[in-house]
Amino acid sequence: MDNISRIYSKLLADHFDDGLEMAFIAGPRQVGKTTLARNFQQAAGNYLSWDNEEHRRLILKGPSHVADYLGLQETPLIIFDEIHKYSHWQTFIKGFYDTYAVVAGIRIIVTGSARLNIYRKGGDSLMGRYFLYRMHPLSAAELLARPPGNELTGPPQELADDRWRRLLKFGGFPQPFLRNNTRFYNRWQRSRLSQVFRDDIHDVAKVREIRQVELLAEFIKQQAGQLTSYASLAKHIRASEDSIRRWTTVLKDLYYCFTIRPWHTNIARSLRKEPKFYLWDWAMVSSPGAKYENMIASHLLKAVHYWTDIGSGNFELFFLRTKDKREVDFLVSRDSTPWFIVEVKSSEVSLSRNLAYFQERTKARHAFQVTIDAPFTRADCFKINYPIRVPAKTFLSQLT
User: How many residues belong to the chain?
Assistant: 400
How far does Cα 58 stand from its chain's mean position?
Answer: 32
Whether residue 285 contacts residue 220, with contact meaning beta carbons closer than 8 Å, is answered with no
pLDDT of residue 103: 80
Closest CA to 140 of 320, 310, 7: 7
pLDDT of residue 1: 44
Say how many Å lie between the first and final Cα of the chain, rounded.
Answer: 23
Give the dihedral of Cα atoms 313, 314, 317, 319; nearest 10 deg: -110
pLDDT of residue 128: 87
Round to whole Å and give the CA distance between 79 and 71. 14
**pLDDT, mean of each 10-residue run, the chain (400 residues):** 80 89 94 91 76 95 90 78 88 92 87 66 73 96 80 94 97 97 97 86 72 92 93 91 92 93 76 86 97 98 96 96 91 98 96 97 97 97 98 97
Closest CA to 342 of 398, 284, 269: 398
Q: Name all domains of the chain by residue range, CATH numbers in brackets.
A: 7-134 (3.40.50.300), 140-397 (no CATH)
How many CB atoms are closer than 10 A to CB 15?
22
pLDDT of residue 74: 62
Distances (CA, A) of 315 to 39, 224, 305, 336, 400: 29, 22, 7, 8, 13
Round to whole Å and give the CA distance between 260 and 248. 13
pLDDT of residue 331: 98
Distances (CA, A) of 392 to 26, 277, 342: 28, 21, 11
Distances (CA, A) of 147 to 5, 73, 300: 10, 33, 18
Whether residue 382 contacts residue 153, with contact meaning beta carbons closer than 8 Å, is answered with yes
pTM, two decimal places: 0.94
Q: Rounded to 5 degrees, what are φ and ψ at 28?
A: -65, 160
Whether residue 26 contacts residue 70, with contact meaning beta carbons closer than 8 Å, is answered with no
In what order do the strands lie in the sheet containing 77-81?
47-49, 77-81, 107-112, 22-26, 130-134
Distances (CA, A) of 103 to 13, 24, 76, 79, 100: 21, 20, 12, 18, 5
Distances (CA, A) of 241 to 229, 232, 234, 302: 10, 9, 5, 30
For the chain, state the CA radius of gyration.
22
pLDDT of residue 321: 92
Q: Rounded to 5 degrees, what are φ and ψ at 134?
A: -100, 115
Whether residue 107 contacts residue 142, with contact meaning beta carbons closer than 8 Å, is answered with no
